[in-house]
Amino acid sequence: MLLAALNVPFDEALCDTQLFTARIDEAVARQEFDILVLPSQPYVVSPKTFERRTHLEQSTRTLLRWLANLSARKHALIVCGTYEPARKQVLCRTALAAFNGQVIARHVKFPEAKAVTRGMSITKYMTLVDLPHIAQQASILLDEDLRCPIPLVTVTRSCMCLVSCISVSPSLLARARSVAVDFGVFVVLSTYKNVECGETAPSRSMILTPAGNNICVGSNDSSLLVAEIPDIPAWTETKYRREYEYKVRHRTEADVWARIGDDPLNERSGFYVP
């Protein structure tokens, strides 16, 4: 199985969906992979709410069509982060997953600084997708989800974690490594390789083994990093993995766990569904 992570320079022009998709098409045109993780598309805030929402709705439709088409052309599972409008003028960071010409899942980033309460709806923040050709699953996350207990529960049910980022700090990259080791999973993390992060070390996409080793092939100048792993990847059973879900469950209502995955595109939350 070939894992791939885009590793292109940051450019504000990528806020334009047409330019964003064209840049990715150029980077992956001659490449083969089974799973591709893309960085999250950046976003510029418009001062006018109506114009912002209208533009985002158009961009969302364009991105969804392109993502589905790319997954069909490459016969691959592809994950890409973006910003999308939901109901009540709410703007959310999301990660879209597509396979075989269809968008199959939409993950919503867990709200920062939001406390977990027993009555809150949490399933939109917990996303699993089936891996191509094998009976295993991958969890979908956005950058700061790596620090949040609710989204991380899905990692206990998967052999792989696919993370789409806008920017990352060295501390977040270190957190990705600890997730790989603590949960015993592969982690594919895609970010922009020269985003200003306020710290000295440069950011770069990574493909990590359950031992925390970065195995991607490609130099810092490579626009696509690739790694080959066994066709049936296995997680490493760890004590942390066994106990993690139990520790989080007591904070929420018991019946919500049975509903994970029953609205994979989060249509009930007001997101566009093609």
* pLDDT, tens digit, 9 for 90 and up, residues 25-42: 999 999 999 999 999 999
DSSP state letter for 264: T
Strands (E), the chain: 2-6, 35-37, 77-85, 91-99, 102-108, 128-130, 137-142, 160-164, 186-190, 206-208, 224-228
Looking at residue 272, its amino acid is: Y
| Distance (Å) of CA 209 to CA 66, 169, 230, 267 | 30, 20, 11, 34
pLDDT at 271 over 60: yes
Q: For residue 145, what are its two tokens?
A: 């989800």
Query: Has residue 124 got a pLDDT over 60?
Result: yes
In CATH terms, the fold of domain 2-269 is Nitrilase/N-carbamoyl-D-aminoacid amidohydrolase (3.60.110)
Give the CA distances from residue 172 to residues 12, 133, 201, 269, in Å, rounded to whole numbers and listed in that order.
22, 31, 12, 28
232-251 burial by CB neighbour count: b if 16+ within 10 A, else e?
ebebbebeebeebbeebeee
Of 237, 240, 185, nearest to 207 by C-alpha is 185
Binned at pLDDT 50, 70 and 90, residue 233 comes out as confident
To 10 degrees, the CA torsion angle through 92, 70, 68, 34? -90
Would you list the domain boundaries of the chain?
A: 2-269
Q: What does the alpha-carbon distance between residue 29 and residue 156 come to, in Å, rounded to a whole number?
A: 34
pLDDT at residue 192 tops 60: yes
Q: CB atoms < 10 A from the CB of 188, how many?
A: 26
- 129 vs 91 pLDDT, higher one: 129
Q: What is the pLDDT of residues 135-167, one digit of tens each?
A: 899 999 999 999 998 999 999 999 999 999 998
Residue 151 has, within 13 A of its CA and on its CB side, a CA count of 27
Record the pTM: 0.92
Residues 29, 224 contacting (CB under 8 angstroms) = no
Residue 174 burial (CB count, 10 A): 14
